[in-house]
Amino acid sequence: MFTRLNLRTVFLQLGCMGICLFHGFAMAQQAKPLMAYVGTFSSPLKDTLPTQVDLPPGNGRGIHLFQVNRENGSLVASGVYEMGNSPSCLAVNQAGTHLYSANETERVGDEKQGTVSSFSIDPMTGSLSLLNSVPSGGAGPTYISIHPSKKFLFVANYFGGSIAVLPILPDGSLGSAVDVKVDAGKIGPTKAVNAPKGSFAWSGHDRTHAHMIQADPAGRFVLHVDLGLDKIFIWKFDAKTGKLTPNDPSFVATPPGDGPRHFHFNPDGRFFYSIQEEGSTIAVFEYGKDLGTLALKQTISTLPQGFEGSNFCSEVLVSKDGKHLYAGNRLHDSIAIFSIGQDGLLTYLGEEWTRGNYPRSFNFDPTGQFLYCCNQRADHVTVFRVDPVHGSLQFTGYYAGVGNPSMIEFLDLEKR
């Protein structure tokens, strides 16, 4: 038989258990964060390798982590994965389990070859744990992307003028390159055909410079640009072996000296938009998905009418609904905004000042409500609200200080 004291003890214990259970339930119900990862140009860490090469020392400390306020878009710093080898380009896999970085200033021993690193992502906090690093297949890896099959990672090596295919192993780590292609051909002129009046813009017409590589939406073909050669290359891709073979035709040429840098497909894959770094133009192509062909439809300036002087283009992105295109201008320090017609053609709407200088790249958050701009020389990321109807950008007033930011990628841990 329970005494009054025993009953009181039982009720107290049950109450404590209820509080603990409620606390545990409440903790389980807390939303996981929306993460932002910012790649940077960084300097070698003390007493560590590798040796800094190719680029001047950077102000970044590696990969900077932020939690994103879902309501107003602001960024709150949540840590740094310290790396002294300029992890300037990042890619997060579709499952949200792994992140990859192209380490632009690293060399492997005496070889003029950079590295690519793989990280596992903590499902609760978004923190990173290094799995491995492998040679990138050339010097200065500046861009990486993941094939739709999720089994291969592509690398564009800017200073090496080469591209490589790296297998993604079952645990998310990277294997050695299964294919490497080295660009070759006649280097374009130092003066861009489409350069603005008074321009002295010159960046990469000294040798071959592979600047971006990515598969088409179906994964059948892989495209990459070489800024020095003024060409967009097209490859057939074997998704079983990871091998690349030249398509027919194997490339399309952009105007001499214009320097193709980055590109983006529209959502249904019908149109392909290439931004030219030194010509300050967008080239609009119709993409033949069955044969992997590009047919030029339009060339349009990224700058306002009447602009004169030097400018270097950077990023190009199409909105998730396919209605607007955004193009980065460095020195003019703006993001140009275009509407996209049903025929894929662009109409210039205006531009927005980036609130910093040298916007190297920008990206949308997963909802498309906010655009984040990496102002490389201003050492910060700025946040803009996107008007879904008119495509305009409104500065939110939010800055996030990051040394020499190069690229920003997002991961919603709620949806992992």
- Mean pLDDT by 10-residue block, N- to C-terminus, for the chain (416 residues)? 46 48 45 96 62 64 98 98 96 98 84 92 98 96 98 97 98 98 96 95 93 98 98 98 98 98 97 98 98 98 97 98 98 98 98 97 98 97 98 98 97 96
- pLDDT, residue 6, reads 53
How many residues are given for the chain? 416
- pLDDT, residue 47, reads 42
Distance CA 65, CA 79 (A): 5
Half-sphere exposure of 232 (CA within 13 A, CB side): 29
- pLDDT, residue 55, reads 58
- pLDDT, residue 30, reads 60
- Token readout for 318 is 């199409």
- pLDDT, residue 19, reads 45
